Structure 1
Amino acid sequence: MRTGHQHESATETDTAHLMAGKAVTFDELATELSAIELRLRQLARAAEVPATPVELADVIDSLRSTALTVRENGEHMGFLARVVDGQVPLATAFPTGDPWGVAARASDRMDFGGPAIVPTVRQLFKLAQDATRAGTKTTTYPEAMTGLGIGWESRAAGTRRDMERHTAVAKESLLLTCEKCGANEGQPCRTKSGWAADVAHSDRRRAAEAIVDERLGYLGKNPVAVPEAR
């Protein structure tokens, strides 16, 4: 059982204390965001009378504004908790007639980023709103998403992984020599005129990519096995 203030470290990857299972639930996100919002409002109140007289009005306003944003996100997570539990009726399709979830597989929707196989928060809000209209055919999230989610990770996670891979490749490149320009370990590649380049020559970069991808367990840029994916 988790207890309060059970933080293993101060690193971004330390997330175990945020969840009871292998992955964080929307209910847990809502609770954590509520705690952050309260903490921000408490800090804003405390900052009204700091130990040293400095006017912190702008900081206080910023803290309270951030707290409002956090509260909105928390409310959204609370709504999603009810959605994924099947408590909120959802329209089976968007106003355009485009399906979502399992029904969107193999569809050729081109607008709005393609088929909404995995819907966004905004799309779920819209589907819930449309479901209240008379005559609208409805479903629930569990029904519409049955069979989906295996091996899935969010777009944000994919973008972060790509950035981490890019950084790792750049560092690894400097550990290799470059046959193209003769740059040694620790030296950047150079142009024919001798200017240092921010990006390594292709052969040096490809060699670094192969090393990094093997270390990360990637096939090309794609993870072979993503620990956080489900």
Structure 2
Amino acid sequence: MRTQHETPAETDTADLIAGKAITFDELTAELGAIELRLRQLARAAETPATPVEVADAIDSLRSSASTVRELRDRMGLLSRIVEGDVPLAAVFPTGDPWGVAARGSDRTEFGGPAIVPTMWQLIKLAQDGKRAAAAGGRETTTYPEAMAGIGIGWESKAASARRRRERDAAVAAEVVRIACEKCGAGDGEQCRTAKGWATEKPHVGRQREAETTVDAALGYLGDNPVAVPDA
């Protein structure tokens, strides 16, 4: 199921991925190709077949290429980090643990246990790990060591949000297929108020029935996905 703004081409990522999920190495290579293509387009646009001045477009293409290059370099660093090539600080500057070591820890001041670190946290841990390794005094670790056994069934915040949007869209479509016992609205009709005004907010019973039907089809328990496909 696609969200309202996704196209079939956008959801077809098969040619980007060699295995079950994209690696940071693959992301780095693809971003490098996009950056090069943008710079090539900027160069080609300097001499268009029809005489139109497109200097602003050329500058925009080159600016976009620079942004993609920065992201490519970041993904390249993450690729080395997850492979274990980069020493990482064993704890955050606050002394809080991360990864396996963060399980069961009370870290409310930090905002919760960073079992799965963010990109920026890993980059910071790499910077601190480099300094620690040079000083020879502080403990360092690697990503494979710190994250051993973590990741099964995990999905990113972006994927969870997308699946939530897909679920909400499916519920909205299912609602109008169900007859409303409260106001008598039928298939394809919106619910109505006591005075007969159409409302975009369905009655609770109709909404609940639609959510139950969709959640059973998608594998949701309340607001939470029961299983992550292909995890």
AA at the equivalent of 1:215: A
1:189 to 188, 191, 198: 191
Provide the residue aligned with 2:226 in structure 1. Answer: 224
What letter is aligned with 1:186? G
Counterpart of 2:83?
85
Distance 2:230 2:62 in 1: 33
Matches within 5 A, 1:1-230: 10-133=8-131, 134=135, 135-229=137-231
Between stretches 134-143 and 38-47, larger displacement belongs to 38-47
CA deviation string 1:181-202 (max 9, x = no partner): 2211111122233333223221
User: How far off is 1:46 after superposition?
Assistant: 2.5
Whether the 8 Å contact between 1:33 and 1:73 is mirrored in structure 2 is yes
Q: Report the AA paired with residue 192 of structure 2.
A: R
CA RMSD, aligned part only? Answer: 1.7
| TM-score normalized by the length of structure 2 | 0.89
Unmatched 5+ stretches in structure 2: 1-6
Matches of 1:157 and 1:10, distance apart in 2? 17
How many residues were matched structurally?
Answer: 221
Query: For the structure 1 residues 64 and 189, does the alpha-carbon distance in structure 2 shift closer, same or farther, using more than 3 Å as the test?
Result: farther
Tell me: CA distance 1:191–1:52, structure 2 relative to 1, closer, same or farther (3 Å). Answer: farther
Deviation at 1:70, TM superposition (A): 1.4
| 1:128-156 CA-partner distances (Å, limit 9, x unpaired) | 11112222210000000011111111111
* Matched letter for residue 14 of structure 1: D
Deviations 1:75-122 (A, max 9, x none): 111111111111000000011000000000011112443211000110
Contact 1:153 1:228 in 2 (8 A): no
User: Do the aligned partners of residues 153 and 70 (structure 1) sit closer, same or farther apart at CA in structure 2, a change above 3 Å counting?
Assistant: same
Work out the CA distance in 2 between the residues paired with 1:132 and 1:79: 13
Structure 1, 119-128 or 33-42: larger mean CA deviation: 33-42
The one-letter amino acid of 2:182's match is: K
- List gaps (5 residues or longer) in structure 1: 1-8
Please give the TM-score of this superposition, normalised by the length of structure 1.
Answer: 0.89
- Report the AA paired with residue 207 of structure 1: E
* Fraction of identical pairs, as percent: 68
Alpha-carbon distance in 1 for matches of 2:122, 2:62: 28
Partner SS, residue 20 of structure 2: coil
- 2:183 maps to a residue whose letter is C
Q: What code does the residue aligned with 2:130 have?
A: T
State how far apart, in whole Å, the 2-side matches of 1:94 and 1:125 are: 11
CA deviation vs aligned residue, 1:180-227 (integer Å, no higher than 9, x gap): 222111111222333332232211111111111122122223222211
CA separation of 1:40/1:156 partners in 2, compared to 1, >3 Å: closer, same or farther?
same
Give, in angstroms, the shift of residue 12 of structure 1: 2.4
Check 1:56–1:194 CA distance in 2 against 1; reply closer, same or farther (3 A cut). Answer: farther
The answer as to whether partners of 1:102 and 1:146 remain within 8 angstroms in 2 is yes
